[in-house]
Chain A
Amino acid sequence: MNGGDEVVAAPAGPPQPLEWKFSQVFGERTAGEEVQEVDIISAIEFDKSGNHLATGDRGGRVVLFERTDAKDHGGSRRDLESVDYTISRHPEFRYKTEFQSHEPEFDYLKSLEIEEKINKIRWCQTANGALFLLSTNDKTIKYWKVQEKKVKKISEMNVDPSKAIANGCISSIASSSNSSSPRPSYLANGGSPDKSYSYLTNDFPFPPGGIPSLRLPVVVTSHETSLIARCRRVYAHAHDYHINSISSNSDGETFISADDLRINLWNLEISNQSFNIVDVKPANMEDLTEVITSAEFHPTHCNMLAYSSSKGSIRLVDLRQSALCDTHAKLFEEQEAPGSRSFFTEIIASISDIKFGKDGRYVLSRDYMTLKLWDINMDSGPVATFQVHEYLRPKLCDLYENDSIFDKFECCLSGDGSRVATGSYSNLFRVFGCTPGSAEATTLEASKNPMRRQVQTPARPARSLGSSLTRVVRRGADSPGVDANGNSFDFTTKLLHLAWHPTENSIACAAANSLYMYYA
């Protein structure tokens, strides 16, 4: 189950299509319930171990889930740091905690409202049992630490905060409040330290044996724990345009943030400066033809990153080449077939998301109509193209009218790199097998009965490998124009965000405010 080279050296025969089953739902909508705008999920991300899942919403909140079936499994911490162990049961998660990551703001200089909506969440290296993650809205990236803290109580002090001298010596004094709650009444006694200590300079003579009547506060640690999320760093004021991606680097100390025109490189520990590494802003904004839509670091090579553009190309950048990486190391784009150009060609070519496979050899990209899998060693064209909702092609005009054509669907790869998934309309998402010879193309609905809308795709094998030099595989194109149940497609319920568990066949996806989990 590790992301080896299965795609290349496929064992005899393609794997069987997966049978997807419903696992869990969080925040399920009851019939007729109105969805609050702020509750709509806008980001989903598993951590590297797959033991935690984070979602962000339009209200600026980040919700964390933890895996319940792995808890007893333990595993040494050193393993947790470097991941990878398998668990037999399918993953089950439970709500862990949530915190308000971003608040709505107003940029007075530019008269711009800054939404609190979480655009992306990325997990960072765990340390000392605490979880670390980066979250971003349009402008500001924040670094969060979430840690369980034992509740501590202070039971003895020198100066009785309640001044209960009349009661004589009381061992346990009233100040036993939770150390994290404010206690202003005590401050009144202790107050203004600087004045009262003015004579306690370092020359103040203390008796050689010390003063026996003084004692240290006694702290009692209870068994209760509470989860505390603390914002460790804020990386702000580095983006003139809206941030569309963040990605942490395998070196564990840097990350990138990308907006429409620029990509910046940050050190996690330094929040007041970043380096601009890609800048596609033309001298004259009227010459602007292409924007950056998504960017991601290579999973193992700390010097490589890929970014996608609105023109449908993916550029691979080598940070070693130059300090400013405006010239790409490799360019991946598909030449459009001549004659097929239409008004929508350019719009639907725009890539909304790219993801590296776990071993870093493949890059998955999602444009409006398709998923494409690229081998970074082959820039002549994608190794596979999957039609996600080809039946919408006749409706592009309507989709343009109601702006749906600009929806940004995310995509994901399974941990072993043998399958890919992406979302669609009517809360549907599709899973494709991408090992050579696989004809797997499943349509699922984000509901408790995912196979309800299962479209029977004829298991027609893809073009055989040997016959095509470029190994182009086209599948799924023959989905019927109408959905199997005869329902009309609903463009308002779109499944934009989904994530594949890093080690198991489990998918988490967001349908409006609900988080659905499936396994196979």
Chain B
Amino acid sequence: MSMVDEPLYPIAVLIDELKNDDIQLRLNSIRRLSTIARALGEERTRRELIPFLSENNDDDDEVLLAMAEELGVFIPYVGGVEHANVLLPPLETLCTVEETCVRDKAVESLCRIGSQMRESDLVESFIPLVKRLAAGEWFTARVSACGLFHIAYPSAPEMLKTELRSIYNQLCQDDMPMVRRSAASSLGKFAATVEYAYLKADIMTIFEDLTQDDQDSVRLLAVEGCATLGKLLEPQDCVAHILPVIVNFSQDKSWRVRYMVANQLYELCEAVGPEPTRTELVPAYVRLLRDNEAEVRIAAAGKVTKFCRILDPDLAIQHILPCAKELSSDSSQHVRSALASVIMGMAPVLGKDATIEQLLPIFLSLLKDEFPDVRLNIISKLDQVNQVIGINLLSQSLLPAIVELAEDRHWRVRLAIIEYIPLLASQLGVGFFDDKLGALCMQWLQDKVHSIRDAAANNLKRLAEEFGPEWALQHIIPQVLDMINNSHYLYRMTILHAVSLLAPVMGSEITSSKLLPVVITASKDRVPNIKFNVAKVLESIFPIVDQSVVEKNIRPCLVELSEDPDVDVRYFSNQALHAIDHMMMSG
């Protein structure tokens, strides 16, 4: 059929391009699959489009990925939930491709569809699909099967449930480590759907097998299951079955396993209850904080606060704090950095006295760390301490730290500290800021690196917002405007940028009385770049000021610039004039 009605031409092309040789066009068609489906109608979508997609599954991964994603939300286009099962076959084939991200997306879509399907349909078509995949010839199918059990299981009749559990058990013993890994990482989700009696019997056996797998990579994922399973089990079962495993894992030969434990341990504390936490988990955690491998200490240090939040403060002070102190002078900068990023959060947990007595020395030593990231991490979380002990105790060490970071030779470090200045300002208050930090903020405007000057201008705007226009008029504006006389045009440009940012915060009056004259003067600059930036600034600030000011000051200035010999200056000033005209007309 070669003749297509004119209005249908685009949709016809869209359909044809499902098979175009150009991958971009195919991708485009697949992404608009819902449009195609609506054009075909529900019935033909079921009868023709879906089978068509099932057959054309040898496409490029990007196309398959898009297809897997689209099919996940396709239920409305095939005629609603009662027809959802027609979507299963194409997704089933996508579950077997060798590209992991396609499979994962297909599994995700299948879960989404399965969770909406009617129970009878699940039994009739979804569960058999899971069984087929689990018995797949290639490992790819079996890997995908693992992620579907938690959808299939709840609606299965008793007989099938038994079968599903035993299939899952087989998957956990598959020859291919990839399958075992997938089974291990989906175990938690599956376990959540299994009845408690079977959870204790079947699932726990599976779990124990996985924890003893020879492959490091499998055991690693079993650790992740610990926390999830622990939460599902009743405390006494958790203590009996999970606790010994995790304590064992925390002393595993493989640092990667210990690393995983360090990341997960705090989640188990609640599951096992306070007493076993005190006797088992705290010692295990302390061991991890003192692990030989830096990576493990990094993970453990990063969880210090989360762990302490769950613990009794006394326990934290007695056992965890001494470790934190050791870590603050760890040989690995990454460990110190991880500690610095969370340790401020301990202050609310420990309360004022313990913070002053125990934490403060740690903060102070981290603030003096030789590695800028550590200092930055402390500064970024200042607000958490401020609430507990106020900032005065810290300010003595804080200032040198900030100044040093502000002058660090790596511009990224300088950039990072600038980003924190508004936060610091709000915590430290106007007084402190005026004395110590004001000068720094001005100094950054003349940094050698553009990004820093840019950030500095932005910082001024945020400070003006924080402390209000009155304060800004006194403490920022004069200094900034002073710098417009700098001999280097790039610095003058920074000032123009700062002005355009400050103007909205300062309001109409200050803008027209203080800022605008400076900008107008700058329009006489000898450098064209300054002149066209003046035009840009004027374009951005004219809505703020009074209309009379626009007519009296801004427009004449722009008109003059629009006759400039430089083409760019003319262009931008004309742009600005157009914008003004447009504004006037619309009212």
A residues sitting closer than 8 Å to B (CB atoms) are 76-78, 81-82, 125, 127-130, 132, 145, 149-150, 154, 156-160, 164-165, 167-170, 173, 179-183, 186-187, 189-190, 193-194, 196-197, 199-200, 202, 204, 206-211, 213-217, 219, 250-253, 269, 300-303, 319-323
B17 at the interface (CB under 8 A from A): yes
Give the complex CA separation of A300 and B214 in angstroms: 9
Q: Which residues of A contact B17 (CB under 8 A)?
A: 190, 193
Chain B residues, CB < 8 A from A169? 1-3
Contact of A81 among B32, B175, B253 (CB under 8 A): B175
Q: Assess the A303–B254 pair: CB atoms within 8 A.
A: yes
Find out whether the CB atom of A216 lies under 8 angstroms from the CB atom of B98: no
Q: Which single member of B2, B97, B140, B217 contacts A173 (CB below 8 Å)?
A: B2
Name the contact of A196 in the complex, choosing from B13, B96, B98, B252 (C-beta under 8 A): B13
Residue among B5, B35, B256, B293 making CB contact with A213, cutoff 8 Å: B5
Task: Establish whether residues B25 and A149, one from each chain, have CB atoms under 8 Å apart when the complex forms.
Answer: no
Interface size on B, residues (CB 8 A): 66
B39–A214 CB distance below 8 A: yes
The 6 tightest CB contacts between A and B, nearest first, are: A210-B41, A160-B2, A320-B254, A158-B12, A77-B137, A127-B98
B residues near A319, Cβ cutoff 8 Å:
216, 254, 256
Assess whether B8 is interfacial by the CB under 8 Å rule: yes
Q: Are A197 and B32 in contact (CB under 8 A)?
A: yes
Contact partner, B4, options A156, A190, A213, A252, Cβ 8 Å: A213
Q: Which of B50-58, B197-205, B440-448, B540-548 lines the interface with chain A?
A: B50-58
A/B interface sample: 18 pairs, CB < 8 A: A77-B137, A125-B139, A125-B178, A127-B98, A179-B21, A190-B16, A190-B20, A202-B35, A206-B39, A208-B41, A211-B39, A211-B41, A217-B18, A252-B177, A302-B216, A319-B254, A319-B256, A322-B255
Contact A320 B256 (CB under 8 A): yes
Q: A128-B98, A145-B98, A253-B217 are in contact. Are A196 and B15 (CB under 8 A)?
A: no
Report whether A323 and B295 are in contact in the complex, using a CB–CB cutoff of 8 Å.
yes
**How far in angstroms is the closest Cβ of chain A from B48?**
6
A219-B56, A251-B215 known; A186 vs B138 contact (CB < 8 Å): no
Complex: how many Å from CA A202 to CA B35?
A: 7
Decide: B216 and A251 in contact? CB cutoff 8 A.
yes
Interface of chain B residues 45 through 84 with chain A (CB within 8 A): 45, 48-49, 52, 55-56, 58
Q: How far is the CB of A324 from chain B (nearest CB, A)?
A: 9
Asked if residues B15 and A200 are in contact (CB atoms below 8 Å), the reply is no
**Given A81-B139, A323-B294: A216 in contact with B48 (beta carbons within 8 A):** yes
Given contacts A159-B2, A169-B2, contact A214 B8 (CB under 8 A): yes
Q: How far is the CB of A291 from chain B (nearest CB, A)?
A: 27
For the A-B complex with A193-B25, A216-B40 known, give 13 more contacts whose Cβ atoms are closer than 8 Å: A125-B178, A128-B96, A149-B58, A158-B13, A164-B2, A187-B20, A190-B20, A193-B28, A204-B35, A208-B41, A210-B44, A250-B177, A252-B177
Residues from chain B with a CB closer than 8 A to the CB of A127 are 98, 138-140
- Once the chains are docked, how many angstroms separate the CA of A165 from the CA of B6? 13
Contact A196 B10 (CB under 8 A): yes
Interface of B: prevailing SS: helix
Name B187-245 residues within 8 Å CB distance of A: 214-217
The interface bits of chain B over 278-305 (1 if a CB of A lies within 8 angstroms of the residue's CB, else 0) are 0000000000000011110000000000
Instruction: Find chain B residues with CB under 8 A from A173 CB.
Output: 2
Does B495 reach chain A (CB closer than 8 Å)?
no
| Measured CA separation A150–B56 after assembly (Å) | 11
Q: Check if B56 sits within 8 Å of A193, measured CB to CB.
A: no
Q: Which chain B positions have C-beta within 8 A of A186?
A: 20-21
Residues of B within 8 A of A164 (CB): 2
- B486 CB, nearest partner CB in chain A, Å: 36
> Does residue B42 face the partner (Cβ distance < 8 Å to A)?
yes
B16 interface neighbour in A157, A168, A182, A213, Cβ under 8 Å: A157
Which of A157, A180, A204 has the largest number of chain B CB atoms within 10 A?
A157
Known: A127-B139, A158-B15, A322-B292. A213 touches B1 (CB 8 A): yes
**Closest partner residue, chain B, to A177 (CB atom):** B21
Which of B2, B96, B177, B217 is packed against the most chain A CB atoms within 10 Å? B2
Q: How far is the CB of A126 from chain B (nearest CB, A)?
A: 8
- B19 interfacial by beta-carbon distance below 8 Å: yes
Alpha-carbon gap, A77 to B142, bound state (A)? 13
Interface string of B474-495 (1 = CB under 8 A from A): 0000000000000000000000
Q: Which residue of B has the minimal Cβ distance to A161?
A: B16
* A326 → B minimal CB distance (Å): 13
Query: Could you say which residues of chain A place their CB within 8 Å of the CB of B52?
Result: 216
Tell me the dominant secondary structure on chain A's binding face: loop
Q: Which residue on chain A has the smallest CB distance to residue B29?
A: A193
**Neighbouring B residues of A196 by C-beta, 8 Å:** 9-10, 13
Judge whether B15 and A206 touch: CB under 8 Å. Answer: no
- Whether the pair A302, B217 counts as a contact (CB closer than 8 A) is yes
A148 to chain B minimum Cβ distance, whole angstroms, is 10
Q: A81-B138, A320-B253 are in contact. Are A216 and B15 (CB under 8 A)?
A: yes
Residues of chain B lying within 8 A (CB to CB) of residue A187: 20-22, 25
B56 nearest in chain A by CB position: A219
- Interchain CB contact under 8 A, B175 and A323: no
Contacts A128-B140, A160-B2 given; does A214 touch B177 at CB 8 Å = no
- Complex CA gap A153/B252 in Å reads 56
Chain A residue nearest in CB terms to B254: A320
Q: How far is the CA of A251 from the CA of B215 in the complex (A)?
A: 7
Known: A128-B98, A156-B1, A250-B177. A211 touches B11 (CB 8 A): yes
Complex Cα distance, B543 from A257, in Å, reads: 61
**CB-based nearest A residue for B45:** A210
Q: Give the CA-CA distance A5 to B294 in the complex, in Å.
A: 39
Q: Does B549 contact A (CB under 8 A)?
A: no
Most buried by B among A129, A183, A197, A300: A197
Q: How far is the CA of A115 from the CA of B360 in the complex (A)?
A: 58
CB distance from A191 to the nearest CB of B (A): 9
A154 and B216 contact, CB distance less than 8 A = no
Residues in chain B near residue A216, CB distance under 8 A? 15, 18, 40, 48-49, 52
Specify which of B1, B4, B293 is in contact with A323 (CB 8 Å cutoff): B293
Residue among A76, A164, A181, A190 with the highest chain B CB neighbour number at 10 A: A190
**Structural contact, A214 and B12, CB atoms closer than 8 A:** yes
Query: Residues 138-163 of chain B: 1 if any A CB is under 8 Å from the residue's CB, otherwise 0?
Result: 11100000000000000000000000
Residues A165 and B2 in contact, CB atoms below 8 Å apart? yes
CA distance A378 to B18 in the complex (A): 62
Enumerate chain B residues within 8 angstroms of A210, measured Cβ to Cβ: 38-45
Q: In the complex, are the beta carbons of B35 and A76 less than 8 A apart?
A: no
A318 (CB) vs chain B CBs: closest residue: B253
Q: Is A158's CB under 8 angstroms from B253's CB?
A: no
Contact A219 B55 (CB under 8 A): yes
Complex-state Cα separation, A180 to B32, whole angstroms = 23
Q: Which chain A positions have C-beta within 8 A of B253?
A: 320-321
Known A77-B138, A303-B254: A193·B14 in contact at CB below 8 Å: yes
Q: Are A165 and B3 in contact (CB under 8 A)?
A: yes
Interface contact B20-A209, CB-CB below 8 Å: no
Whether B34 sits at the interface, judged by CB under 8 Å, is yes
CA of A451 to CA of B257 in the docked complex: distance in angstroms? Answer: 54
> At the interface, yes or no: B176 with Cβ under 8 Å from chain A?
yes
Q: How far is the CB of A129 from chain B (nearest CB, A)?
A: 8
**B100 close to A (CB within 8 Å):** yes
* Contacts A128-B138, A158-B15; A170 near B10 (Cβ below 8 A): no
On chain B, the residues within 8 Å of A182 by CB distance are 21
Contacts of A214 in B (CB 8 A): 4, 8, 11-12, 15, 39-40
**In the complex, are the beta carbons of A215 and B1 less than 8 A apart?**
yes
State how many angstroms separate the Cβ of A139 from the closest Cβ of chain B: 25
**What is the minimal beta-carbon distance from B542 to any residue of chain A, in angstroms?**
34
Instruction: For the complex formed, measure the closest distance between the CB of A79 and the CB atoms of chain B, giving whole angstroms.
Output: 10
- What separation, in Å, do the CA atoms of A76 and B28 have in the docked complex? 39
Q: How far is the CB of A305 from the nearest CB of chain B, in Å? A: 13
Chain B's closest residue to A228 (CB) is: B58
Cα A200 to Cα B13 with chains together (Å): 12
- A303 with B2: in contact, given A200-B14, A208-B41, A323-B295 (CB under 8 Å)? no
